[in-house]
């Protein structure tokens, strides 16, 4: 029978696998990792610190869409990949944007280098994550 540590690891890996290996400190906390345990795992190479409060499982294979997953997790699931980034993500353009375009709700206050934020009304009704409202 798996122990508590194995169960925590399994739950975190299941979450990270849906997010290209990324997960946030708050997601790790919700799974059951204290902040002290998070520091331990970073210090021992079990997790890679990507940014403040943002981690990735080591050895995760790189993909050209990694930055989209990273910034979606960074936004705590409140952002939608949009504009030129959405065109690139869905192979609808050969544009390679220098920054990732995210559309976020008007009350979203975080900022970061490498991302261009656009504010608009978003809805989460009946879908897994946010989406632009019709007509936006």
Q: Looking at the structure, do residues 83 and 128 belong to the same domain, yes or no? A: yes
- For the chain, what is the domain count? 2
Per-residue pLDDT band at 136 (split at 50, 70, 90): very low
pLDDT value, residue 54: 97
Burial of residue 61, with CB atoms counted within 10 A of its CB: 0-12 exposed, 13-18 middle, 19 or more buried:
exposed
94 is in which domain, residue-wise? Answer: 66-132
pLDDT value, residue 127: 55
Q: What is the pLDDT of residues 9-18, one digit of tens each?
A: 999 999 999 9
pLDDT value, residue 131: 57
Q: Looking at the structure, do residues 50 and 84 belong to the same domain, yes or no? A: no
Q: Looking at the structure, do residues 19 and 47 belong to the same domain, yes or no? A: yes
Q: Is position 99 within any domain?
A: yes
CB 24 within 8 A of CB 76: yes
Q: Is position 8 within any domain?
A: yes
64: pLDDT strictly greater than 90 = no
Dist CA 45 CA 37 (whole Å): 12
């Amino acid at each position: 029978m798996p122990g508590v540590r194995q169960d925590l690891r399994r739950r975190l890996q299941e979450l990270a696998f849906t997010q290209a290996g990324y997960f946030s400190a708050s997601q790790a906390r919700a799974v059951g990792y204290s902040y002290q345990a998070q520091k331990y795992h970073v210090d021992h190479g079990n997790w890679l610190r990507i940014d403040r409060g943002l981690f990735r499982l080591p050895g995760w294979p790189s993909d050209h869409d990694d930055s989209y997953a990273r910034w979606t997790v960074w936004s705590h699931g409140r952002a939608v990949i949009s504009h030129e980034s959405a065109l690139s993500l869905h192979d609808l353009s050969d544009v390679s944007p220098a920054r990732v375009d995210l559309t976020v709700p008007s009350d979203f206050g975080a900022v970061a280098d490498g991302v261009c934020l656009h504010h608009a009304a978003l809805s989460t009704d009946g879908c897994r994550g946010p989406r632009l409202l019709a007509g936006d």
